A and B are shown apart, each in its own frame.
Chain A
Amino acid sequence: TQLLEQSPQFLSIQEGENLTVYCNSSSVFSSLQWYRQEPGEGPVLLVTVVTGGEVKKLKRLTFQFGDARKDSSLHITAAQPGDTGLYLCAGGDSGNTPLVFGKGTRLSVIA
């Protein structure tokens, strides 16, 4: 069974601080997605990475896929209250198998 472990589970920081959240597995994935979910809403896709070592940037968010395609990280620079939410990573296998989701990191950015 493929599992994705996210850490930390909870993170509370001040506005302007930097942070990194992690998504780790012992399994290899062909793709990895990051989603952000706000209270009362469904997750919103932020990025997909498919190549080992790939780095993608989305404004102040930097996503990296591990070289072995078993792990990923999300780094946020100068966090803002609008970054508050539940960050979920999800791993995809080749073919038509369902995504495997981590349990998420709940981020709170305090103004």
Chain B
Amino acid sequence: KAGVTQTPRYLIKTRGQQVTLSCSPISGHRSVSWYQQTPGQGLQFLFEYFSETQRNKGNFPGRFSGRQFSNSRSEMNVSTLELGDSALYLCASSGTGLSYEQYFGPGTRLTVT
């Protein structure tokens, strides 16, 4: 089976712009979670989608949003980018109904200047 794919791998944006990141889960996986990883804070949970519904949400401002499509592919959007949004954004899919045993993609490295 192909692994989790994320596009793009690298992105440079300017403060105030918005960005959309894409994630394709492992075939058959219905749960997709998004994480932000920074050197200081580690891996922080953004949100999880299961069967097109947001099932869990982390403690991030409303500028961070996401959605999931009927084929389980997911997108996350960050509006009004801030310098502090520079991070590695990771997507993970899970094959069971439960959220553990996450299979991660390679991530999108976002740099905000």
**Interface residues in chain A, defined as those with a beta carbon under 8 Å from any beta carbon in chain B:** 31, 33, 35, 40-45, 48, 88, 90, 92, 95-99, 101-104
The secondary-structure label for the interface of chain A is loop
**Interface residues in chain B, defined as those with a beta carbon under 8 Å from any beta carbon in chain A:** 4, 33, 35, 41-43, 45, 48, 50, 55-56, 58, 90, 92, 97-107, 109
26 pairs, A vs B, C-beta closer than 8 Å = A33-B100, A33-B102, A40-B109, A41-B107, A42-B104, A42-B105, A42-B106, A42-B107, A43-B102, A45-B103, A48-B100, A90-B100, A92-B100, A95-B98, A96-B55, A96-B56, A96-B99, A97-B56, A98-B45, A98-B58, A99-B99, A99-B102, A101-B43, A102-B42, A103-B43, A104-B42
Closest residue of chain B to A50, judged by CB?
B100
Do the beta carbons of A45 and B106 come within 8 Å of each other?
Answer: no
